Amino acid sequence: MVRGIQSFHPFVLLVYYVLIIIGLMLYQHPLFLLGALFLIGTFNYILDKGRELKKWGFMIGMMSTLIILLTPIFNRRGNQILFHLFDQPIMLEAVIQGIMIASTLVGILAIFVTFNIVLTPDKLLYLFSKVLPQWALLTMLSMRFVPLLIRKVKEMMNIQQVKGLAINQGSVHKRAKNGMQIMQMLLTNALEDSIQAADSMSARGYGLQKRSNYKAFKMKSKDWLTLGYLMGFAIILLFGWAKGDGVLQLEPVLETIMFSGSEYIYFITWLFLIGFPILTEGKEVIHWKYYQWKM
């Protein structure tokens, strides 16, 4: 039985991710972004111990480092000069802006990692099959076959290496020849799998009449309550953003990073919105520990 965050209706999960991505782009404040990164990282750890996020770790780290280093070089707007680099001033405001841009992109990429785990292909097909049926089918097939092809390539490379046909040894001509052989085998295998998939769909009567859903997702009471929970916090955060809270003013005068007044309220609301999956998973852990204690 599916529990935790994955037990909610796909539409509720989609609304959550849309709100988080919009919030990451709107709330440009270092403390807001730092809290978001911490909770998103915790969410990744709860789902799969951070294994999928580690696969993207190098790319995310390189991207954020380049943004932090390049933004002060190309952005010279500001009043507070930190130092000069090749006779060009490096502004404190530009450094802070680079950190916030990098944090925003890291947060969006990290939340997309959980998106691929929580919103499985069957849920995406359910959400978009009636609106964009062809796009939904192609997306589901892509999400299915791309990891399959990557796994096939690794298996073929290992087999060829045992036969002495590795692509990382020998001359350039030999490595290129071995690589082309692997690509030929991969394409042949992909064509065979596509023919089998087409025959299987034809045997099941695909396209003969109006398609029926093989798995139904129904909105339950907890889904409606959760949707109200998310939308309520989103309205509060939108109101706060319209007032200018949660957005660090860099120019013409750099504001203090510390909170003042109602920003505390919007910060706590922001944390509760992002931390909804953590609260859900934590509740499941408490229930499990309670049942173990009772037994």
Q: Residue 290: pLDDT above 70?
A: no
Over range 187-205, report the average pLDDT: 76
What six digits make up the tokens of 202?
A: 């034809």
**Residue 171 gets which letter from DSSP?**
-
pLDDT tens, residue by residue, 45-69 = 888 888 888 888 888 889 889 988 8
- Residue 211's pLDDT is 60
Ranking 126-130, 246-250, 273-277, 289-293 by mean pLDDT, the lowest is 289-293
**How many Å apart are CA 28 and CA 176, to the nearest integer?**
47
Backbone angles phi, psi at 246, to 5 degrees: 85, 5
**Residue 255 gets which letter from DSSP?**
P
Backbone angles phi, psi at 146, to 5 degrees: -65, -50
Burial 145-158 (b: 16+ CB within 10 A, else e): eeeeeeebeeebbe
Mean pLDDT of the chain: 80
Which is higher by pLDDT, 288 or 235?
A: 235
Q: Residue 169: pLDDT above 70?
A: yes
Q: Which of 95-99, 152-156, 193-197, 244-248 has the highest mean pLDDT?
A: 95-99
Q: Residue 272: pLDDT above 70?
A: yes
pLDDT band for position 20 (50/70/90)?
very high
What six digits make up the tokens of 32?
A: 């807001």
What six digits make up the tokens of 263?
A: 């920003």
- Residue 286's pLDDT is 67
Q: Residue 247: pLDDT above 80?
A: no
pLDDT tens, residue by residue, 273-287 = 998 888 887 776 666
What six digits make up the tokens of 130?
A: 């009636």
Q: Which residue is listed with tokens 């709100």?
A: 19
Over range 8-31, report the average pLDDT: 89
pLDDT tens, residue by residue, 129-161 = 777 766 766 766 666 677 777 788 888 888 777
**How many Å apart are CA 99 and CA 93, to the nearest integer?**
10
Stated pTM of the model: 0.77
Q: Residue 237: pLDDT above 70?
A: yes
Nearest to 98 by CA among 121, 124, 66: 66
